[in-house]
Amino acid sequence: MEEQPRFRMTSQRQVILEYLQEHKDHPTADEVFRMVRRDLPRISLATVYRNLETLAEAGLIRRYGGYGQRRYEGNADRHYHVRCLGCGRLEDAPLERIASLEQDARKHSRFLITGHHIEFEGLCPDCLASGSAASERSRRRAGL
């Protein structure tokens, strides 16, 4: 039987993890890099990317993708998000977890349900105010 590689919490990983746990803004890897360089001036962007992936695979942080750059957060608990279709901004949606969705999916399918992901889409206040083409398309789609 093949043994899983052991996870080691290096000082670089610790700084990245602490930054993500303290900041709730779902930064990109580039943003994390700029911030952790203040504490670790010799760290490279490639090292930040590698450590973000390692922390995500270990379940200590979450990563989100699908709209431009991948974003990360230090809250590894399941929760919901709202994403701006204009600029890609990602924020927590202040909703309680809906466990009944998983129960219904389990009841009506043959799947072993291990979790669910809900992300609301819309426009952030900045994009709404800017009147960009993306915000106009989104307004029309929403019937506004």
Supply 15's token pair: 């700084």
* pLDDT digit string, tens, across residues 6-50: 678 999 999 999 999 998 889 999 999 999 999 999 999 999 999
User: Residue 4: is its pLDDT beyond 60?
Assistant: no
Asked if 101 and 90 sit in the same domain, the reply is yes
The length of the chain, given as a count of residues: 144
Asked if 71 and 87 sit in the same domain, the reply is no
User: Is beta strand 119-122 parallel, antiparallel or unpaired with respect to 80-84?
Assistant: parallel
Identify the pLDDT of residue 30: 94
128: domain CATH number is 3.30.1490.190
Looking at the structure of the chain, the number of domains it has is 2
Supply 58's token pair: 């270990």
* pLDDT digit string, tens, across residues 101-139: 888 888 899 888 887 778 889 999 999 998 765 555 555
User: Residue 140: is its pLDDT beyond 60?
Assistant: no
* Cα radius of gyration rounded to whole Å, the chain: 18
DSSP for residue 11? H
| Residue with tokens 């760290």, as numbered in its chain | 43
Asked if 49 and 87 sit in the same domain, the reply is no
Asked if 14 and 83 sit in the same domain, the reply is no
Contact indicator for 69, 75 with CB cutoff of 8 Å: no
Asked if 46 and 85 sit in the same domain, the reply is no
| Residue 51's pLDDT band (cuts 50, 70, 90) | very high
Identify the pLDDT of residue 117: 79
The parent domain of residue 143 ranges over: 78-144
Asked if 127 and 97 sit in the same domain, the reply is yes
Asked if 52 and 108 sit in the same domain, the reply is no
Identify the pLDDT of residue 138: 55
For residue 35, CA distances in Å to 17, 47, 64, 79, 109 come to 12, 14, 19, 25, 45
Q: Last residue of some domain: 20, 44, 76?
A: 76
Please, what is the average pLDDT of the chain?
84
Identify the pLDDT of residue 79: 84
Asked if 11 and 62 sit in the same domain, the reply is yes
Q: What is the arithmetic mean of pLDDT over 74-78?
A: 83
**Bigger pLDDT: 55 vs 94:** 55
Asked if 17 and 41 sit in the same domain, the reply is yes
Asked if 16 and 68 sit in the same domain, the reply is yes
pTM over 0.85: no
Q: Position 52: which residue type?
A: L
